[in-house]
């Protein structure tokens, strides 16, 4: 099972800030940071509406940023990803789970299950779910209730 | 015995079996059958639930259930269909073993009969896969190509080849399908920007159209993986046509069936084996 580093609270705080940023921008509030060697190498928040692309989840954005970081810092992506942890405010969906699996990156999170799928198995042995879930849920509620006042 | 007596014995037995030995997950299987000689047989329980014990021990266990056995005959093992029948042919084959219920899906039947598409549409399908094949050849390592088409106009909106190489440090996520979806997003952003600057009257309709792949068809030479299949669900794709199945990673039929997964909020139709032989040679 994955363990979060000593700075995990600080990193998670940044993930929540990113989720908040998404909320303000009218996106589903999910934020994440990708950490390698005690350093954030990728940050992301949902930008689906902004770029009109349903695959631009926080995780995918962070992964793309991390690839750039690797290039700029002359670090091999295969080394960086397989030794990295993703801290994310909402449990990754099937698409993002599979992407993380391709990269051998661990998902560590304060997940709230909003997509209930058996594919959780894909990363189940590598996750630490459930901490601070309420905070992530509150953000999601703000988004969905904001969109549908009658809901 | 009188027919009426037999039926009432059967009814009682079925009621007792239902209470004590329910057939979980076999809603398509009829509990009782009457063969051509007029003999009745009732399913007691599933052998697989008791697979860890011998047949003798199983018989004993069954006989110990709170059921009135006095008018019932011998226990024996039969084979039944594990899943419900989707086609009439499956129904006919399965019924030879044990009766099952069948609700014909007219659309699937029409598709199997080869009557879903007319000649012109079939020609378009092959033409579009042909474009996917030439796109696939653009990458020398992973020869996979994807093409997004608007079926209303049969216009090609985007095409992409696989962006991976054998190097583990290359972009491992640049699958052809993902790149194709990215390009559609970029196209929609560009369309919106043009509309905003010139204030075209169809701005509203473009916004209505949405940012996703709603109403579009995807053609791809190889069955999409889990990541790509889920990306297509997120994008609200209309239909997917692929050439070759992927037994190891395929998520639209082979390994998983993401396109019909009950837990997901969008489903789509998938057609395979379009130019399969040609695409087999790509690998
Ligand atoms: Zn995701
Ligand atoms: Zn893929």
Best A51, A53, A104, A105 member to test B by mutation, with max B CBs in 10 Å, is: A53
Q: How many CA atoms lie within 13 A of B68 on its CB side?
A: 10
| Selection from A33, A34, A43, A41 nearest residue A69 by Cα | A41
Instruction: Supply the pLDDT for residue B229.
Output: 97
Please tell me which of the candidates A49, A55, A76 has its beta carbon nearest to residue B231. A55
Instruction: Supply the pLDDT for residue A84.
Output: 87
Instruction: Supply the pLDDT for residue A149.
Output: 37
Chain center to CA of B58: 36
pLDDT in tens, A129-145: 555 667 777 777 777 77
Q: Which single residue is written with the structure tokens 């709230």?
A: A112
Enumerate residues with CB within 5 Å of ligand 2 (an ion): B 175, 225, 227-228
Q: Is A146 helix (H, G, I), strand (E, B) or coil?
A: helix
Under an 8 A CB cutoff, do A54 and B181 touch? yes
Instruction: Supply the pLDDT for residue A20.
Output: 93
Higher pLDDT residue, B2 or B200?
B2
Chain B residues within an 8 Å CB radius of A53: 181-182, 184-186, 211, 235
Chain A residues within an 8 Å CB radius of B236: 54
pLDDT in tens, B60-79: 877 887 777 777 788 888 88
Q: List where CATH 3.40.140.10 sits in chain B.
A: 117-196+211-281
Instruction: Supply the pLDDT for residue A144.
Output: 75
Best B142, B163, B164, B185 member to test A by mutation, with max A CBs in 10 Å, is: B185
Instruction: Supply the pLDDT for residue B125.
Output: 97
Under an 8 A CB cutoff, do A98 and B258 touch? no
Span A65-80, mean pLDDT? 95
Catalytic residue (choose from A27, A47, A59, A106)? A59
The Cα angle at residue B169 between residues B163 and B175, in degrees rounded to 5: 25
Chain A residues within an 8 Å CB radius of B162: none
Give the chain A residue whose CA is nearest to the CA of B249. Answer: A98
Domains of chain A by range and CATH?
A: 7-144 (3.40.140.10)
Span A91-119, mean pLDDT? 65
With a cut of 50, say whether residue A69 has pLDDT above it.
Answer: yes
Is A59 annotated as catalytic? yes
Under an 8 A CB cutoff, do B181 and A93 touch? no
Question: Distance of CA A62 to CAs A56, A93, A119, A142, Å?
Answer: 10, 15, 21, 23
Enumerate residues with CB within 5 Å of ligand 1 (an ion): A 57, 93, 95-96
What is the complex's ipTM, to 2 decimals? 0.81
Span B258-266, mean pLDDT? 88
Identify the weakest region by mean pLDDT among A49-58, A113-122, B39-48, B261-270.
A113-122
Which pair of structure tokens corresponds to residue A105? 């990156």
Higher pLDDT residue, A8 or B36?
B36
Chain center to CA of B245: 13
Residues of B in CB contact (< 8 Å) with A are 168-169, 171-173, 178, 181-182, 184-186, 188-189, 192, 211-213, 225-227, 230-231, 234-236, 256, 258, 261, 263-264
Please tell me which of the candidates B171, B211, B256 has its beta carbon nearest to residue A52. B211
Phi first, then psi, for residue B236 (nearest 5°) are 60, 45
Q: How many CA atoms lie within 13 A of B242 on its CB side?
A: 24
Per-residue pLDDT band for B262 (boundaries 50, 70, 90) equals confident
Chain A and chain B share a number of CB contacts under 8 A equal to 75
Span B225-240, mean pLDDT? 96
With a cut of 50, say whether residue B139 has pLDDT above it.
Answer: yes
Distance from CA of A17 to the nearest CA of B (A): 25
The Cα angle at residue A53 between residues A125 and B233, in degrees rounded to 5: 55
Instruction: Supply the pLDDT for residue A112.
Output: 40
Per-residue pLDDT band for B126 (boundaries 50, 70, 90) equals very high
Span B203-231, mean pLDDT? 81
Helix, strand, coil share (%) of chain A residues, nearest 5:
45, 15, 40
| Selection from B239, B241, B227 nearest residue B266 by Cα | B239
Instruction: Supply the pLDDT for residue B19.
Output: 82
Please tell me which of the candidates B169, B172, B182 has its beta carbon nearest to residue A102. B172
CA distance A33 to A54: 20
Q: Is A83 helix (H, G, I), strand (E, B) or coil?
A: coil
Instruction: Supply the pLDDT for residue B203.
Output: 41
Higher pLDDT residue, A146 or B27?
B27
Instruction: Supply the pLDDT for residue B185.
Output: 93
- Say which CATH class B117-196+211-281 falls into: alpha beta
């Amino acid at each position: 099972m994955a363990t979060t580093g000593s700075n995990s609270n600080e990193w998670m705080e940044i993930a929540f800030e990113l989720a908040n940023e998404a909320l303000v921008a009218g996106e589903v509030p999910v934020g994440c940071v990708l950490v390698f060697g005690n350093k954030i190498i990728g940050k992301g928040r949902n930008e689906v509406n902004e770029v009109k692309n349903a695959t631009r989840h926080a995780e995918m954005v962070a992964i793309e940023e991390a690839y750039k970081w690797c290039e700029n810092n002359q670090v091999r992506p295969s080394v960086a990803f397989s030794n990295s942890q993703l801290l994310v405010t909402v449990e990754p969906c099937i698409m993002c789970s599979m992407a993380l699996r391709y990269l051998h990156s661990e998902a560590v999170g304060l997940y709230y299950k909003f997509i209930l799928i058996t594919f959780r198995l894909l990363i189940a042995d590598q996750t630490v779910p459930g901490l601070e879930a309420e905070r992530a849920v509150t953000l999601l509620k703000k988004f969905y209730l904001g969109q549908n006042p009658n809901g | 015995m009188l027919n009426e007596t037999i039926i009432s014995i059967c009814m009682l037995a079925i009621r007792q079996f239902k209470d004590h030995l329910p057939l979980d997950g076999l809603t398509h299987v009829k509990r009782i059958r009457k063969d051509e000689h007029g003999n009745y047989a009732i399913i007691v329980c599933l052998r697989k639930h008791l697979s860890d014990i011998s047949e003798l021990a199983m018989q004993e266990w069954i006989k110990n259930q709170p059921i009135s056995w006095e008018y019932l005959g011998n226990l024996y093992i039969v084979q039944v269909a594990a899943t419900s029948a989707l086609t009439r042919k499956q129904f006919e084959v399965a019924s030879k073993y044990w009766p099952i219920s069948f609700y014909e899906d007219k659309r699937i039947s029409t598709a199997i009969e080869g009557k879903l598409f007319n000649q012109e549409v079939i020609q378009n399908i092959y033409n579009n896969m042909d474009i996917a094949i030439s796109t696939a050849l653009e990458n020398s390592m992973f020869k996979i190509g994807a093409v997004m088409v608007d079926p209303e106009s049969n216009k090609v909106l985007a095409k992409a080849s696989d962006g991976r190489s054998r190097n583990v440090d290359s972009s491992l996520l640049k699958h052809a399908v993902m790149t194709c979806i990215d390009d559609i997003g970029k196209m929609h952003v560009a369309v919106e920007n043009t509309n905003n600057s010139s204030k075209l009257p169809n701005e509203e309709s473009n916004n209505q159209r949405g940012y996703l792949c709603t109403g579009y068809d995807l053609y791809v030479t190889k069955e999409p993986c889990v990541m790509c299949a889920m990306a297509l669900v997120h994008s609200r794709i209309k239909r997917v046509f692929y050439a070759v199945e992927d037994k190891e990673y395929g998520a639209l039929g082979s390994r998983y069936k993401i396109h019909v997964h009950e837990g997901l909020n969008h489903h789509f139709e998938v057609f395979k084996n379009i130019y399969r032989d040609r695409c087999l040679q790509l690998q």
